[in-house]
Each structure stands twice: as C-alpha cells, then as structure tokens.
C-alpha cells in the first residue's frame, strides 16, 4: 500500500485538527507537515499535543517544510491559500483546496497553477454534499418550467463570507441544468419593495448564528407542491474524510484541476 505524505495548513484550527485526526486514522496516509500562520501560539508545538500524543511533527510557519509532503490540504483563507499555492508550484506539491471566498483573480491563479501541479478544489469536500450537487442537476432539468428555485443556508456566526461557497455551487448546478450563467439569474438578497418574483431566477438567503457547521436547503416551489433537497452537516469530519478521498485521487494525477464530482466519479 502506498503511503501519502500529507501537509495540513491551519493545523491549530478546528478544521486543521479534524484533518490531522483523519490522517492519523488512515492506514494509507502519514502526517508529514503541520503549518500555521506566523505568530500563532502553536508554532513549535507537536501537531498532536492537543490529543495528548506525540507525532514528531512540529507545527511550523516555514513553508519550505512543504518539500517533505506529497500533498497539502488547505482550508484556510484565500490570501493564505494563494501564498501556499505559489510555494507548492515551486516544490511540486499537489494541493487540495477547501478554502472558499476566492475572487475571480484567485480562481484564475488556481486554475493556472494546475498546469504544473494536480489540484482538487471544491466549495465543499463532503461526499454527501457532492452527491446533492448531482441530484440538483437532475431535479433542475425536470423542474425548470413552473418552479421557483430558492437556496437557504445557515452557518456559525464566525463565517466571514456569504452566501456560502456550497450554496453558490448548488446555484451553479441548477443554472447549468437551465443552461444559464448563474450571475445572470441569481437574486443574492432581497430588501424593501422588491416587486413580484421574476421567473427563472434563483434566490439566495444566508443565515448566521451559533455554532451551526453547515445547513443547506434547496427549494423548488411550484403550484400545488414543493420539493426540498437538504443537507445538514453535524460534524466537520465529513470534510476531512472527503479530503482524504481527494488525496487518494491525486495520487493518480500529476497535473490538472479537478473537483469532487470527478473525485467521486460523478462526471
């Protein structure tokens, strides 16, 4: 069995720790590098000290340490991920990017980098959510005429972007089935006297509060019936397990830009 040497960005954060635990529990993966931001109190600590264990991997802010990894899993912030992307290109390290909130320039940089290294990037690494994307394509192709599409998402109060990347990806799945660019048919918010709802549009609503990990519901509302497709995340381990599946997929690719639909064989 081939062992994949994995680097984790944001190792002292909630998601970083979930990723570390997932790697430790995978027989075909090895924790090789643990990164954190410069100035973090975790720098110099063992990556698994919070578990009362010793891994021998110390948390560092030295990006040159990435030379010891096959793949970096990054769920941080756009500016940090793009800095990591530059170093990974130089060192030939593949990337799994779960970071959201990139602008067009950031997305273009990731796509360009995939000519040199293999990258999986996704709004959501959950296997279940990516199955929902496929279900939405099918549903939207059937429910195009006479149905209104609305997307409602809720996340914890610390999330900094809205709507969520997952909600946007759900909208893109519907828009693709309707053969329309999402930006042409999206209603991102409503306030005041908005007038009647325009046919063929996709509405978005973002809720924030508490410690909600991620709830998403797509509503297709027609005359006399309503179809709802819902995914609720109760634990961040779903993103970690999806990331490991992406790492195994990347072991078979040297370059290219992939998403979780390709990782799961849904394309």
Whichever domain contains 154, its CATH number is 3.30.360.10
- Residue 58 DSSP class: B
My answer on whether 51 and 68 are in the same domain is: yes
What CATH number has the domain bearing residue 17? 3.40.50.720
The edge-to-edge listing of strands for the beta sheet with 29-35 is: 59-60, 29-35, 4-8, 71-74, 94-97, 118-121, 256-258
Structural contact between residues 221 and 229, judged by C-beta atoms closer than 8 angstroms: no
My answer on whether 27 and 82 are in the same domain is: yes
Reported as type and span, the H/E element at residue 182 is helix 182-185
My answer on whether 86 and 103 are in the same domain is: yes
My answer on whether 135 and 176 are in the same domain is: yes
My answer on whether 93 and 136 are in the same domain is: no
Report the pLDDT value the prediction gives residue 165, as an integer from 0 to 100.
87
My answer on whether 105 and 79 are in the same domain is: yes
98 phi and psi, to 5 degrees? Answer: -105, 0
My answer on whether 57 and 184 are in the same domain is: no
My answer on whether 148 and 222 are in the same domain is: yes
My answer on whether 93 and 150 are in the same domain is: no
Structural contact between residues 25 and 6, judged by C-beta atoms closer than 8 angstroms: no
List Cα–Cα distances, 72 to 80, 94, 193, 252, in angstroms: 13, 6, 48, 15
Take residue 226 and report the two structure tokens written for it.
């309503």
Q: How many domains does the chain have?
A: 2
Mark out the alpha helices in 10-101 (DSSP H runs). 14-24, 78-91
Report the pLDDT value the prediction gives residue 133, as an integer from 0 to 100.
95
Specify whether 111 is catalytic.
no
29 phi and psi, to 5 degrees? Answer: -130, 150
Mean pLDDT by 10 residues, the chain (267 residues): 94 95 96 97 96 96 98 96 98 96 94 98 92 96 96 95 92 97 97 95 98 96 98 93 97 96 92
Range of the domain at 51: 4-121+236-263
Specify the pTM.
0.84
d(CA 196, CA 84): 46
Q: Which of the following is catalytic: 155, 216, 231, 257?
A: 155
My answer on whether 45 and 109 are in the same domain is: yes
Report the pLDDT value the prediction gives residue 100, as an integer from 0 to 100.
86
Q: Residue 139, exposed/middle/buried by CB under 10 A (0-12, 13-18, 19+)? A: buried
Report the pLDDT value the prediction gives residue 236, as an integer from 0 to 100.
86
By DSSP bridging, strand 4-8 and strand 71-74 are parallel
My answer on whether 152 and 228 are in the same domain is: yes
Q: Which of the following is catalytic: 5, 134, 159, 180?
A: 159
My answer on whether 34 and 81 are in the same domain is: yes
């Amino acid at each position: 069995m081939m062992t994949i040497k994995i680097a984790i960005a944001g190792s002292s954060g909630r998601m970083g720790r979930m990723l570390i635990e997932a790697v430790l529990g995978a027989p075909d993966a090895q924790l090789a590098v643990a990164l954190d931001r410069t100035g973090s109190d975790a720098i110099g600590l063992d990556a698994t000290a919070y578990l009362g264990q010793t891994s021998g991997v110390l948390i560092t802010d030295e990006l040159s340490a990435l030379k010891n990894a096959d793949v970096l899993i990054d769920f941080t912030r756009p500016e940090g991920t793009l800095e990591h992307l530059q170093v990974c290109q130089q060192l030939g390290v593949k990337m799994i990017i779960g970071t959201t909130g990139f602008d067009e320039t950031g997305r273009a940089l990731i796509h360009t980098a995939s000519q040199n290294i293999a990258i999986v990037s996704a709004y959501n690494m959950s296997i279940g959510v990516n199955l929902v994307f496929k279900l939405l394509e099918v549903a939207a192709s059937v429910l195009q005429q006479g149905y209104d599409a609305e997307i409602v998402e809720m996340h914890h109060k610390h999330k900094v972007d809205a709507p969520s990347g997952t909600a946007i990806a759900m909208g893109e799945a519907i828009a693709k089935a309707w053969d329309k660019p999402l930006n042409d048919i999206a209603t991102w918010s409503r306030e005041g006297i908005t007038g009647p709802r325009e046919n063929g549009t996709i509405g978005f609503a973002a809720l924030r509060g508490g410690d909600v990990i991620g709830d998403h519901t797509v509503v297709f509302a027609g005359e006399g019936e309503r179809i709802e497709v819902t995914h609720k995340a109760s634990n961040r381990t779903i993103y970690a397990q999806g990331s490991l599946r992406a790492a195994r997929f990347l072991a078979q690719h040297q370059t290219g830009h992939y998403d979780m639909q390709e990782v799961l064989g849904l394309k």
